[in-house]
Amino acid sequence: MASTNIYQMVTDRIVEQMKASIVPWRQPWVGGSAMAISYTTRKTYSMLNQLLLGKPGEWLTWNQIQAKGGRVNPGAKSRFCVYCKPVEKPQYDLETGEKTADTYLLLKWYRVFHIDDTQGIESLCTPVAPGTSLSPIEQAEKAIEAYLGREVSLRFYNNKKSASAFYSPSRDEVVVPMLSQYALAEEYYSTAFHEFTHSTMHEDRCNRRSESSITRFGDSAYSREELVAEIGSAMICNRLGIEHEKAFKNSAAYIQSWLKALKNDNKMIVWAAKKAEEAARYFLGDTDADVVVAPSTS
């Protein structure tokens, strides 16, 4: 029996949403304060699973629903989510024969149902506590200031008229057009966060630079690194409450370009979602990820 290609399954699910004009990483709740969570463990799902599940709120496996005495509504559809399972098997360098690792990670999947598609399961969500009194724009400025304060080698230029935004790895420099060049402040911040996400590729930060020899990262190439910047920027905007409708233009051309790139590389979305989550957390100074790693049996 041919084994299921899980990377293709993941890509197909993302493509399905994009064909319906939904850009999964630009949903306002993805990466924000009301994400998809495990009913049982109360942990949030990984960024990739947020994209796959496509709906915030509590999710349960079939067994968890049965154990709680609940049932699935007739006709309700499950969604799949994924996790990495370490497999104990030595890995060797093909050229030198040297052992490089004792284990490798295998991508696995399982199915979950949204609590809205069940009966007899009581929601454990409590009303959201009042947040900070800072406006999203103030929070965005504070986040940039804090990041630049931690990353002393990184230079940031936003005080000159510029026709483009980019990150230069060789100069460790982020350049964005001036705020006054944008019709809306939200567009300025989403652009800045895109470039700051690129800046986490630096070897002293999240270390993704070996993936590419490109000397300057802007907004045009539909590569894996560009998808990291797109997802990272969306996650940061959502976390800070920058309104996504104003920040992003979901043009048909944008969707078509990503559809093509995703179809050409079925490992792109798995890789980019993981790296984007790391990058966004790094930018926000939030490294204590409390995410679901595997289906809970309880």
* Chain residues that interact with Zn ion, rule: CB under 5 A: 217, 219, 226, 229
* Shortest Å, Cβ 111 to Zn ion: 35
What residues contact residue 165 under an 8 Å CB cut-off, 6+ apart? 175, 176, 177, 191, 192, 194, 195, 218, 219
**Side chain identity at 194, as an amino acid letter?**
H
* Shortest Å, Cβ 265 to Zn ion: 17
Q: Which is nearer to Zn ion, 117 or 151 (CB)?
A: 151
Give dist(CA 41, CA 50) in Å, integer.
16
* Shortest Å, Cβ 110 to Zn ion: 34
* Shortest Å, Cβ 216 to Zn ion: 9
Q: Which is nearer to Zn ion, 82 or 229 (CB)?
A: 229
What residues contact residue 38 under an 8 Å CB cut-off, 6+ apart? 44, 45, 58, 59, 60, 292, 296
How many residues are there in the chain?
298
Residue nearest to Zn ion (CB): 229
Q: Which is nearer to Zn ion, 81 or 236 (CB)?
A: 236
Q: What angle do CA 57, 225, 20 make, to 5 degrees?
A: 45
Q: Which is nearer to Zn ion, 30 or 229 (CB)?
A: 229
* Shortest Å, Cβ 203 to Zn ion: 19
Angle between helix axes 185-199 and 268-284 (nearest 10 degrees) is: 100
Q: Which is nearer to Zn ion, 169 or 241 (CB)?
A: 169
* Shortest Å, Cβ 150 to Zn ion: 22
* Shortest Å, Cβ 84 to Zn ion: 27
Residue with the two structure tokens 């093909």: 94
Q: Which is nearer to Zn ion, 24 or 232 (CB)?
A: 232
Q: Which is nearer to Zn ion, 25 or 59 (CB)?
A: 25
